[in-house]
Amino acid sequence: MRGSLQPGMSIDEIIILITKHFKTSVNHNSKFCYQESLEHIDVAKVIRLETNHYRQYYDFFMALHTDAKPDSWLEEYFSDICRSGFAFGIFDNAKLVCVSDVPDMPYLSDECQEIGINTLKDYRCCGYAKAVAHASARAIVSNGKCPQWSCAADNGASAKLARNLGFMKLADVVTVGV
């Protein structure tokens, strides 16, 4: 395979080559790095999540993952992301409708922090994800870390959101499944 890779190959050509060589699935993701703060984003409805929001978070999580059985780990996970100081959300009345989380970073954890974002289906396209992710990015920067964003390469909505938040595409990441 080494001889088959050529300078200037497109990412699609590389994926085809890897798929044929390893005869397994290949995942293609995009990585983004935070470049600038866009202060004009309205974060008035955003709050930092605390452990006392667990009941609302549980309902939010179950609305997104209807078949999940999270009872043995979800509360600990939620407590961990709250302790990080990077978890934010927006409520509609008493219902949590959009949440940022902070996936574990097994590498560079002192320098970088990934941002995750989820919004209930009925609340998408309202600017909530942008506001919540912006609040999370600002908190990460104020703690001396660089925010990172990852998404599937074909997730145009997530890539657009990242760019609208001041992230710049850093790399294509290709992983081979087992």
Domain extent listing, the chain: 28-176
Name the residue type at position 78: F
pLDDT value, residue 24? 84
Is residue 2 very low, low, confident or very high in pLDDT (cuts 50, 70, 90)?
Answer: low
pLDDT band at 139 (very low <50, low <70, confident <90, very high): very high
Mean pLDDT of 130-158: 94
To the nearest 10 degrees (0 to 180), the angle between helices 54-64 and 74-84 is 120
The pTM of the full predicted model, rounded to 2 decimals, is 0.87
169's CB contacts (< 8 A; 6+ apart) are 30, 31, 32, 159, 162, 163
User: 159 CB contacts (<8 Å, ≥6 apart)?
Assistant: 30, 32, 151, 169
What is the rounded CA–CA span in Å between residue 167 and residue 33? Answer: 5
For range 87-116, the mean pLDDT? 90
pLDDT averaged over every residue in the chain: 91
In the structure, what pLDDT confidence band is assigned to residue 125 with cuts at 50, 70 and 90?
very high
Residue 21's pLDDT is what? 84
Q: How far apart are CA 54 and CA 37, in angstroms?
A: 30
Q: What pLDDT does 40 receive? A: 84
* CATH 3.40.630.30 describes domain 28-176: yes
Percentage of the chain exceeding pLDDT 90: 71
Which tens digits make up the pLDDT trace of 56-74?
A: 999 999 999 999 998 889 9
* pLDDT tens digits, one per residue of 26-42: 899 999 999 987 778 99
Comparing C-alpha atoms, which of 154, 152, 149 is closest to residue 170?
149
pLDDT at 141: 93
